[in-house]
Structure 1
């Protein structure tokens, strides 16, 4: 199969693979999607070196374009919040982002042909190459590891436990290896007997991972942290209405009302505010449509809305004056920690900003072309520089993570001191930009996996959902669904002992990939002699 037929089939195979991601979680489709990719690459390996690389890269790009187009179509919803200014960009954003991300897939399939050998070895080579290209996608140009293939293997609570052993990158390697395995018994490359044996081995391996997950969950026994009570506030404010001047006071008053008294799901209901046992009240990212830290009245009102022993974690824009009167002020996407007196006890400025969402790369050039950030901040946000654990009265040390900072496996412990782990991750976000689409579900699935990787509970608060308390096994203790307005309460689950992945990181994965590469190179050198 050549030409547009092969290209079209590659696009369709990629789009099919996207069904393995949240909210569908149809991971068995990968047993069709990945083998199709292998079989489409096979003919390219017969060509001379340069043509082989070019042909394999094109197949990979087509597959990646279909995968990311089907998985990230919801990005366009953000441009409808201010449709008058940004709607014209929807066709560009919905196609340009998948086209750019597909370049990493093209790199992976091209490199895979350098490791291509008949039979099962070509599956192993593809797994190594795509793991490497996915790692690059998560780091180059600030990184964007959204929809990494490994999340397909974490589609169930049982299989998700594998992340405690190998992390997201290891899951990606295993996903390609296990789900592409049927191709080892198909096509003209290799002996069918070897291919069938390899398929059988991968099925046994998948069963082993499922057994590990089932045993781990069956033996789960997480004690709650004593005397720590959480209340997550989910106001469900429409993003298009949030920043309108006439709505600002009402939105703030709604937040205050949801912060007072017991939540409907509370098991410690009390009519006496002075007896409120809540330790931490959480508001979502940019919860206030104004700079909360600069408004003394609003700070006092926020402090009065929580219990006498509570701390309020409130997402807000923070303004910092320029170095001189003529300089423009700097804006930060921040999380403020406020006590009952209205005093700001600590704060965190978001470090890893969203390109085009919170700032414009190469702003001088792109700004001249009329491209600005989607945020309501002129010139975009400035990045914070201080990754650290936060310690406050009544709470164990925790790590704050704003919005998509939670999707970077290598960064979630960046604020931990040497030898110190956070007792929980506090993740606040505003997924209202993307409405009732797949985006918020994908974001929540990625956040849950961070908890499993490290064995550290997740406390997540989102404007429109999904807000939840998740333990170190990824089990959802309490939650509010997407679009619901209200508050949910619960205790803080205790952190687990450091996981194997938490101790070793990607070292075992790198070692395995290195062995596969060395074996492949050795065989090639022997053939040359």
Structure 2
């Protein structure tokens, strides 16, 4: 397959790849999309393989990250064409990881069945690079499509990136099956399917905790408007007063100013002695930097966000002009410190602020050992990006973390994806998008560690890097 037809297939396959993620739940589309990509480049020259990989990645990531346009255009004031160009440039840059991995694989390994086999570890290398280099941006990494389906059973063993590799192996198997190479296809398909048979229970219950998850649904254009502060804080106080749980969780930056600037009367009203609350606010000062934080009212516990979002929370070198043009409040923040869970009401809750929950390797230490968290709590403000696709994608990431670490994940958000995910990755309760209210849930805390949590805590992602490189070297030797 050459030329324009191959380009069209690659772009279409990239779009199909996006369709495999939430909200569709169509996990089976993910290996099918990869199979289309692999079949297109099985016999290709290295340069053509890289080009097709780039087109696939662009179709996938541009269609999966389009909602970034909303934050830049609607709230940042960037003209719509320039905002669209910025999204396209980001998608093109991220696609480069896949173009490089597939192009180099095609250069090192001759066309044929061995090359197809090599595409699985090459795909894993590209996923790992995108997840870690330049602070990492692994949004809708391939493995996230498999929070349901047979590959989900691998999550507590190999995590999201291991699943990405197994899905790529299954994609190669589909190509071999179409070619009639059953002896090659069978193990490539059966190994991923083995997730259905793997042991899954590694944690035990530590009891139940009633949580009240607040969703104030404050429009983003009103959230940081000083004229609306008093009304928004009054709304927050009423929602907290209506809560019935043992602990109240509020969204990220629900108090959109440094906590030191909050008047004492409002703080006293929010801090109810009989009901602890985790309040989203900012700590710090202008000299040392402001930290996106959650503060446990009535105690000395607080947690500051550690993994910051480029362009929204820290300014990469040379891009100050672009970030300042969008007038983002508190656009260059300081990082938080400790990773300790919050001990409250007989449980240990580990806060995660917004897209921190994409980086399980950053907080895995909170999922192992005697003082491990019994539940994760994600607080987010997704109002920057609308309600279509973004909220379901982020909720799917929480499902993967629940599967990997077998911990429930409770989510409190501003405008949507407020939900409870149990330790098996099932969404057991959820508030509709843009509905103001409090979601009352009971969280089943868990103790114990999954195999993935144990080896990730000890070695990080290095075993996956090493295995993929060794697999590539082994395939190249066998093919030569």
The question of 1:137 aligning with 2:98 is answered no
Does the 8 Å CA contact 1:457/1:494 hold for their aligned counterparts?
A: yes
**CA gap 1:249/1:208 in 2 versus in 1, 3 angstroms:** same
**CA gap 1:88/1:301 in 2 versus in 1, 3 angstroms:** farther
**CA gap 1:120/1:3 in 2 versus in 1, 3 angstroms:** closer
Distance in 2, matches of 1:310 and 1:502, equals 32
- Could you give the per-residue CA deviations for residues 310-349 of structure 1, whole angstroms, max 9, x where no partner exists? 2211111234142xxxxxx62221111102xxxx522222
| Aligned equivalent of 2:335 | 383
Residue 351 of structure 1 and its aligned partner are, at CA, apart by 1.2
Aligned runs of 1:345-356 on 2, under 5 Å?
Answer: 345-356=300-311
1:489 to 425, 435, 440: 440
Q: Secondary structure at the match of 1:44?
A: coil
2:374 to 423, 441, 456: 423
**CA gap 1:16/1:70 in 2 versus in 1, 3 angstroms:** same
Residue 85 of structure 1 and its aligned partner are, at CA, apart by 4.8
| Aligned equivalent of 1:288 | 255
Residue 152 of structure 1 and its aligned partner are, at CA, apart by 2.1
Distance in 1, matches of 2:159 and 2:6, equals 33
Residue 59 of structure 1 and its aligned partner are, at CA, apart by 1.4
TM-score for both structures, normalised by structure 1: 0.82
Root-mean-square deviation (CA, aligned residues, Å) is 2.7
Q: Secondary structure at the match of 2:296?
A: strand
| Aligned equivalent of 1:12 | 12
Distance in 1, matches of 2:175 and 2:36, equals 8
Aligned runs of 1:125-164 on 2, under 5 Å?
Answer: 125-156=118-149, 159-164=151-156
The range that moved more, 427-436 or 392-401, is: 392-401
Q: Secondary structure at the match of 1:8?
A: helix
- Could you give the per-residue CA deviations for residues 8-43 of structure 1, whole angstroms, max 9, x where no partner exists? 321121111111111122222234322221122123
| Aligned equivalent of 2:267 | 299
Q: Secondary structure at the match of 1:162?
A: helix
1:440 to 391, 397, 404: 391
Aligned runs of 1:32-431 on 2, under 5 Å?
Answer: 32-45=32-45, 52=46, 54-82=47-75, 84-85=77-78, 87=80, 89-114=82-107, 116=109, 119-156=112-149, 159-186=151-178, 192-193=179-180, 195-212=181-198, 216=200, 223=205, 225=207, 228-262=209-243, 278-295=245-262, 296-303=264-271, 306=272, 308-322=273-287, 330-339=289-298, 345-362=300-317, 365-368=318-321, 371-372=324-325, 375-377=328-330, 380-384=332-336, 386-414=337-365, 420-431=371-382
**CA gap 1:440/1:118 in 2 versus in 1, 3 angstroms:** same
Distance in 1, matches of 2:297 and 2:79, equals 35
Which consecutive segments of 4 or more residues in structure 1 shift more than 4 A?
Answer: 85-88, 117-120, 219-222, 368-374, 414-419, 506-512
| Aligned equivalent of 1:325 | none
Q: Secondary structure at the match of 1:464?
A: coil
Residue 176 of structure 1 and its aligned partner are, at CA, apart by 0.8
The range that moved more, 458-467 or 481-490, is: 481-490
Residue 479 of structure 1 and its aligned partner are, at CA, apart by 2.4
- Could you give the per-residue CA deviations for residues 252-311 of structure 1, whole angstroms, max 9, x where no partner exists? 111111111345xxxxxxxxxxxxxx33211100101332333222211211xx3x3322
Distance in 2, matches of 1:310 and 1:449, equals 30
Does the 8 Å CA contact 2:53/2:102 hold for their aligned counterparts?
A: yes
**CA gap 1:116/1:35 in 2 versus in 1, 3 angstroms:** farther
Q: Secondary structure at the match of 1:127?
A: helix
Distance in 2, matches of 1:155 and 1:369, equals 39
The range that moved more, 5-14 or 171-180, is: 5-14
Does the 8 Å CA contact 2:206/2:374 hold for their aligned counterparts?
A: no
Does the 8 Å CA contact 1:6/1:40 hold for their aligned counterparts?
A: yes
Structure 2 residue ranges without an equivalent (≥5):
none
Q: Secondary structure at the match of 1:337?
A: strand
Does the 8 Å CA contact 1:119/1:185 hold for their aligned counterparts?
A: no
Does the 8 Å CA contact 2:372/2:447 hold for their aligned counterparts?
A: no
Distance in 2, matches of 1:198 and 1:23, equals 33
Distance in 2, matches of 1:31 and 1:204, equals 14
